[in-house]
Amino acid sequence: MDASPATAAATERRSRLVAQLTRFVLVGCLAAVVDYGIYQTLLHLDLHASLAKAISFICGTTAAYLLNRRFTFNAPGGGGAGRFTGFLLLYGTTFFVNVGVNAVALKLIPDMSFRITICWLIAQATATCINFLVLRTVIFRRQ
């Protein structure tokens, strides 16, 4: 028995979503290594935690955007002023969310082993969820 066209289309959309999410996670892991490595390096250089987080976030999200545009969402280069403006708005927003969540977590989580890493993970996870949803549904959505 053949699947109906609606079922086949739904299966195709689900398959595309899973593939995008898998690539997004892989790209995110690479970008997270960039972000976390820079963050730790700057902390070891005695830079204030929020400034270190801000710099590392910019580096990590720049890498993530470039890789996601090319590999996750297969978007052509450029994309016009609308895509660039969307990127600036999204990453500007998640920049403040990421740095803010990190600062709040540092205040709320008691001093313990891996505290900085735990706070970084919480901030990163929050920003990553926002980024995937907006990149997929707004910035790189298929026309």
Query: What is the pLDDT tens value at each position of the chain, 143 positions in all?
Result: 556 888 888 888 888 889 988 998 899 899 989 999 999 999 999 999 999 989 998 898 788 878 888 888 887 766 667 777 787 799 889 989 999 999 999 999 999 999 999 999 999 899 988 988 998 888 887 65
Please tell me the pTM assigned to this model.
0.68
**What's the rounded Cα separation, in Å, for the pair 127 and 94?**
5
Please give the structure tokens belonging to residue 62.
Answer: 């720049």
Please give the structure tokens belonging to residue 67.
Answer: 């890789």
**What's the rounded Cα separation, in Å, for the pair 3 and 12?**
12
Residue 63 and residue 31 in contact, taking contact as beta carbons nearer than 8 Å: yes
Query: Which pLDDT belongs to residue 1?
Result: 55
Query: Which pLDDT belongs to residue 77?
Result: 66
Query: Which pLDDT belongs to residue 108?
Result: 97
